[in-house]
Copies of this chain bind each other. A is one copy, B any other.
């Protein structure tokens, strides 16, 4: 299920990893049964942090970009998964409309070209409809490799959204709607709009996601007979924090303190000799507030912290999530690295490492200056190994990342069900 990719891990396989690898059939069957009851998000990417003693998702993106960082070898997997997804939604579809972010930098355009390629190969005519007011006519952007991407203005009729001479069955958003859903996307009852509008960051909350993840991890932990904390980032939340007006800081202080204490107890229980830390971030967006690493609640009173918060928040922020920090002990060429797992429908289709040379193991790497290192396929997967025990083969260390990625993705499915404004209530 999960492609065998070369991870940066080189040390011995620890207990957690061993448990997950040994339980493959049990884990895959469990996911199979989950997907009978729950619909996976159309596509997703999950940032995973591996501290060695613990392995947890820290962010789940339902509008993944950077598909261009997947290697060519992974394309057939993505295409196959895209076919499975399309078959379920709209098998008779000819056309797919992709609605991107309002970005035209070459990195993002390369991502769009890759998505277009995937869905073309899956059997769809794919065109790009922009929400930007700058796109008033079909506009072609050239990419360095010789490829090009054409953005076209969206055309909305009373009941449908499309382009000139292009009426899609499905509309796929690659735009996280941070500013809320624009009217042009509302009331499209005749077409499939994916992900649904309530998955946009205007409505979505990280705390809902990680609450769902806690439940999923608890059941998964029970399945494997292990402490769910080993795969779960604990968190607290505060409703209204404003650094400019200095309001809500008491909530932030007390929750940071309480969470650090909980982490400390867990570290003690497992004999972990590391300094606990938490990460403070906005509950409703992945970008508005930079992620602030805090090792002691007292830091919240530092002038330095406030300066940082204001600088990265940009404006007064509202709801805040305080998340247990998970160290990453992976490195590529001495730079701190964290894996990002890419999924299409229920399938893991690839991944890459996000690498940041200027960050330490307890800081967010999703920051300017980050680079991406594609994960290559493990070439030696089935070659004989000298001295290998019969029946043994090189373990797929990417497998556990694929499991954690899918647990987060399953949690997103639960989260979207729980937050669906159109859900029928059976109370």
Contacts and interface: CB of A to CB of B under 8 A. Distances in A.
Contacts of A87: 32, 35
Interface of A: 1-4, 24-25, 27-29, 31-33, 35-36, 72-73, 75-77, 79-81, 83-84, 86-87, 91-94, 117, 120-125, 142, 144-148, 347, 377-379, 381-385, 388-393
A381 B91 contact: no
Contacts of A377: 72-73
B92 A25 contact: no
B4 A72 contact: yes
Contacts of A383: 145
Contacts of A83: 1, 28, 32, 347
Contacts of A1: 76, 79-80, 83, 121-123
A55 to B, nearest CB: 20
A123 B388 contact: no
A75 B381 contact: yes
20 contacts: A1-B79, A2-B76, A2-B121, A4-B72, A25-B120, A25-B123, A28-B83, A29-B124, A32-B92, A33-B91, A36-B91, A72-B377, A80-B80, A144-B384, A145-B384, A146-B384, A146-B385, A146-B388, A146-B393, A147-B390
Nearest to A346: B83
Enumerate the 6 nearest inter-chain pairs by beta-carbon distance, A residue then B residue, closest first.
A28-B123, A145-B384, A3-B76, A146-B388, A72-B381, A148-B390
Contacts of A31: 123
A32 B147 contact: no
A390 B73 CA distance: 22
Nearest to A70: B382
Given A73-B377, A86-B32, A382 B145 contact: yes
Given A32-B87, A87-B32, A92-B29, A121 B381 contact: no
Copies of the protein in its oligomer: 2
Most B C-beta atoms less than 10 A away, residue of A73, A147, A379, A384: A73
Contacts of A28: 83, 121-124
A38 to B, nearest CB: 13
A379 B71 CA distance: 9
B75 A147 contact: no
Contact of A121 (B24, B36, B79): B24
A39 to B, nearest CB: 13
Given A81-B80, A83-B1, A32 B73 contact: no
Contacts of A122: 1, 28
A127 to B, nearest CB: 12
A220 to B, nearest CB: 14
Contacts of A124: 25, 28-29
Contacts of A347: 80, 83
Nearest to A387: B146
Contacts of A388: 145-146
A97 B32 CA distance: 19
Nearest to A385: B146
A90 to B, nearest CB: 9
A72 B25 contact: no
A72 B378 CA distance: 8
Nearest to A72: B381
A255 B394 CA distance: 55
Contacts of A91: 32-33, 35-36
A377 B389 CA distance: 30
A1 B147 CA distance: 21
A165 to B, nearest CB: 16
A29 B94 contact: yes
Contacts of A81: 80
